[in-house]
Amino acid sequence: MSFFYSISNHLLNFDEELKFSISSDASNKGNIKLYPLALRYFTKVLGIQNFILDFYSESNCTAIGIYKSISEISKENNLKMHNLISYGGDSAAVNYGIHNSVFTNLQNENDFLVKANCHLLHNTSKYALIKHPLDIETLISKIYNHFEHSSKRIEQLKSCHEFTDLEYKKILNSCQTRWLSLFPAIQRIIKNLDAINLYFIGVNSDFCPQIIIDFFYGKSEDKSIEEFHLHFIYDFMELFHGKILILEKENTNAIQLYSELNDLYVKLKNRRSEEFYGSFAFKNFNKLSEKDRILFKKSSNDVYNRALNYLEERFDFKNSIFKDFTELSLLNKLNYEKVMKISKRLNIPLEENQLFDEISLTNSILEKFSMDDKYLSLEKQWCKILMSSDLPNLEKIIGAVMAIPIGNDFVERIFSVMKNLWTDERNRLTIAQVKAELCIKFNFSMTTIL
């Protein structure tokens, strides 16, 4: 038996028909390919639960190989594959390819499987900006590298901060594998732009990369089009950054996904239709030449168009099952017909007459909710409702929907912790030992009694 006990032994209250999801991802440790397998489920007593089901190495990285591992590990833990409601992974073809992928293989066992594809917003923002005339990733990287290894340059930059009455803060770099890290790096540049601009104007451009020369030396009147591009990219990415932070919160669930994505989608459409390119452009547009105005508007509209097209191609805003889930948001009374539609789309058998009575009872409970109740997370609100009365049919639906992840954040956190555990100084650890430490970290909740 493995170090960490079987999940099925831990879940003593695990109903045989309880819906669950499985998420996976892959990462390398040297020449070893590692896979964590995560389990997610919901009960009215515990709420949403995430566990490490397994952590293993696998040389067969094909869709069939990953599928077989998932199937075998699930059976070892007495998890019934017909109760699998969702599979989560990154957007690689091996996970979600049309003809032969992990998802299509799992669908052979369960037709009613929901995709929990992650990184949609990361990929959208990156795709939207890939053709933009300002290569923002390169610019950030070149500015960072210019100062990183020169104390003399840093001291000169500090002097420029003092002259412009700005507090000096270190230039940030972005991580190539983490698009979200680019936003704070851009934010740091913008907040210190006057000082950085003063520094580069005062140095010999022969020591600067061409992208820095183009950005800081190409003036049109007293503002450069490159500066407009920078502010536009910042304002554009701020929309995505805010939504990503919301969707990566532990208490955000599948019921809320559609509302957040649709809100972003509408904001992008409104900015495009109203030709709004951010407050900086709105205030300073007259400082650009007519030629640069045309170029700026074209490049900015291209970004909006690419973002909207990417979202429309990869998320069905009209018929997505996540749109149906919004009926369970508790912002309004539950509608019997709409709740029934969710149960049918998820293939959840119910006592339909009894469900009507349960919905009526739930609506009466909602009317009595206090302000404190309404400030609870949606997950806790549903736990309170389901604990307050016997609602077996509604409990099945909520359990299934809450079990669906909206990203791969939990699995990615496993890798982050793994890197902190499995360091160069602890390079003799075995996979089994790393697995044991990870399971203690994520699967156990302990309190200390003094």
pLDDT, tens digit, for every residue of 82-114?
Answer: 999 999 888 788 888 888 899 999 988 888 888
pLDDT digits 0-9 by tens, 167-181: 999 999 887 656 667
Tokens of 91: 């957007």
Handedness of CA 84, 90, 91, 96 (dihedral sign): negative
SS3 390: coil
Segment 67-76, tens digit of pLDDT:
999 999 988 8
What sign has the CA pseudo-torsion 58, 63, 68, 70? positive
What pLDDT score was predicted for residue 271? 97
- pLDDT-above-90 percentage for the chain: 57
pLDDT tens digits, 200-253: 888 877 778 889 888 887 554 456 889 999 999 999 999 999 998 898 887 789
pTM beyond cutoff 0.95: no
Residue 333, pLDDT > 90, answer yes
Strands 20-24 and 84-89: parallel
The arithmetic mean of pLDDT across residues 144-157, rounded, is: 92
User: What mean pLDDT do residues 407-416 have?
Assistant: 85
Average of per-residue pLDDT across 250-278: 95
Q: Tell me what pLDDT residue 231 has.
A: 95
Token representation of residue 359: 């919905």
CB 14 within 8 A of CB 49: no
| Alpha carbons 421 and 288: distance in angstroms, whole number | 52
pLDDT band at 40 (very low <50, low <70, confident <90, very high): very high
- Per-residue model confidence (pLDDT) at position 99: 82
Residue 440, Cβ neighbours under 10 Å: how many?
13
pLDDT band at 32; cut points 50, 70, 90: confident
Residue 379: which pLDDT band, with cuts at 50, 70 and 90? very high
How many percent of the chain have pLDDT more than 70? 92
Which tokens hold the place of 49?
Answer: 């639960």
Sign of CA dihedral 243, 245, 247, 251: negative
Looking at residue 5, its pLDDT comes to 42
250: Cβ contacts below 8 Å, ≥ 6 apart: 48
State the sign of the Cα–Cα–Cα–Cα dihedral 60, 62, 68, 71. positive
How does DSSP classify residue 286?
Answer: G
- Residue 263: the pLDDT is 97
pLDDT of residue 165 exceeding 90: yes
Q: Which of 146-160, 217-231, 249-263, 335-349 has the lowest mean pLDDT?
A: 217-231
Name the burial class of residue 21, with classes exposed (0-12), middle (13-18) and buried (19+) by CB atoms within 10 angstroms of its CB: buried
Which pLDDT belongs to residue 209? 87
Q: How far apart are CA 56 and CA 402, in angstroms?
A: 27
* Amino acid identity for residue 6 in this structure: S
- Average pLDDT taken over every residue of the chain: 88
Residue 328 pLDDT exceeds 80: yes
Cross-strand bridge partners of residue 89? 117
Domains of the chain: 7-118+407-443 (3.30.420.10), 123-314 (no CATH), 321-402 (no CATH)
Structural contact between residues 199 and 157, judged by C-beta atoms closer than 8 angstroms: yes
Q: What is the reported pLDDT for 17?
A: 73
The pLDDT assigned to 6 comes to 45
Q: What is the pLDDT of residue 222?
A: 55
pLDDT at 186 over 70: yes
pLDDT class of 449 with cuts at 50, 70, 90: very low
Assess contact for 26 and 92: CB atoms under 8 A: no
